[in-house]
Amino acid sequence: MNDLAPAPHRKARIATASLAGCFGCHMAILDIDERLIDLMKLVDVDRSPLTDKKRFTDRCDIGIIEGGCCNEENVHVLHDFRRNCDVLIALGQCAIMGGLPAMRNAIMHSDAPLRECLDEAYITGKYIRNTTHQVPNDPALPLLLDEVYPCAQVVEIDFQIPGCAPSGDIIFDTLAKLLNGKFRGFEPEMIKFD
Ligand code: SF4
């Protein structure tokens, strides 16, 4: 396991976001456990669900993205992270490949796959108990994209941390090496999908 570097002259700033994910990757960040105390001596957390900050307050050194893009808001947030972060990390399979939300991409036999998917989810599905018999269409809801896109298909991604969810160990190891300027990729034994 990699040790964290001595505190630099200024703390690094990191930001995180959850797009089309299940928050499991953010829970995995908390799996860093007691090492979070050492990490917090080296970094300040800017925009993140962990701080409940919805906007950047400063430029960040590292941005961590959970989830792919399934709607227009996800795309907007991802572009905002690319603009405001020097290094952008796709954390977990949803960010890297679309993950579970991208299963809807497979519905290609229909002329209107997104409509078919929404109908089944809200109206025709076997276990649906939606008494309105309507797909939610409040104007405040972000527009869905035709497909779910991995982050790298929307913006340039610098690093990917695989796993569903990645382990706290691999997240800590990657951040520690990045903060040390020593990240050269993952050791094979670090990459697990269970
Ligand atoms: Fe959840 Fe797994 Fe996707 Fe992370 S990669 S957001 S844990 S489904």
Neighbours of 114 (CB within 10 A): 14
- Residue range 28-43: mean pLDDT, rounded: 94
What's the chain's average pLDDT? 90
The pLDDT value recorded for residue 69 is 98
Probe target for ligand 1 pocket from 69, 100, 191, with the most ligand atoms within 8 Å of CB? 100
Q: How far is the CA of 83 from the centre of ligand 1 (A)?
A: 24
Task: Dump strand ranges (E) for the chain.
Answer: 12-18, 43-45, 60-66, 69-71, 85-91, 144-149, 159-161
Residue 3 has pLDDT above 50, yes or no: yes
- The tens digit of pLDDT for each residue in 78-107 reads 999 999 999 999 999 999 999 999 998 987
- The tens digit of pLDDT for each residue in 128-176 reads 988 888 999 999 999 999 999 999 999 999 999 999 999 999 999 899 9
Residue 111 belongs to some domain of the structure: no
Model ipTM value:
0.99
Ligand 1 atom at minimal distance to the Cα of residue 66: 6
Q: How far is the CA of 24 from the centre of ligand 1 (A)?
A: 5
- CATH number, domain with residue 49: 3.40.50.700
Residue 194 has pLDDT above 80, yes or no: no
Ligand 1 atom at minimal distance to the Cα of residue 94: 3
Residue 56 belongs to some domain of the structure: yes
117 or 44, which is more confident?
44
Residue 112 belongs to some domain of the structure: no
Number of domains in the chain: 1
Banded model confidence at residue 111, pLDDT cuts 50, 70, 90: confident
Residue 161 belongs to some domain of the structure: yes
The pLDDT value recorded for residue 1 is 47
Strand partners, 110: none
The reply to whether ligand 1 has any atom less than 6 angstroms from the CB of 166 is no
Q: How far is the CA of 26 from the centre of ligand 1 (A)?
A: 9
Residue 82 belongs to some domain of the structure: yes
Residue 141 belongs to some domain of the structure: no
Residue 133 belongs to some domain of the structure: no
Residue 126 belongs to some domain of the structure: no
Task: Give the domain range for residue 55.
Answer: 12-103+146-190
The pLDDT value recorded for residue 181 is 81
The reply to whether ligand 1 has any atom less than 6 angstroms from the CB of 18 is no
Please spell the DSSP secondary structure of 63-77, one letter per residue. Answer: EEEESBEEEHHHHHH
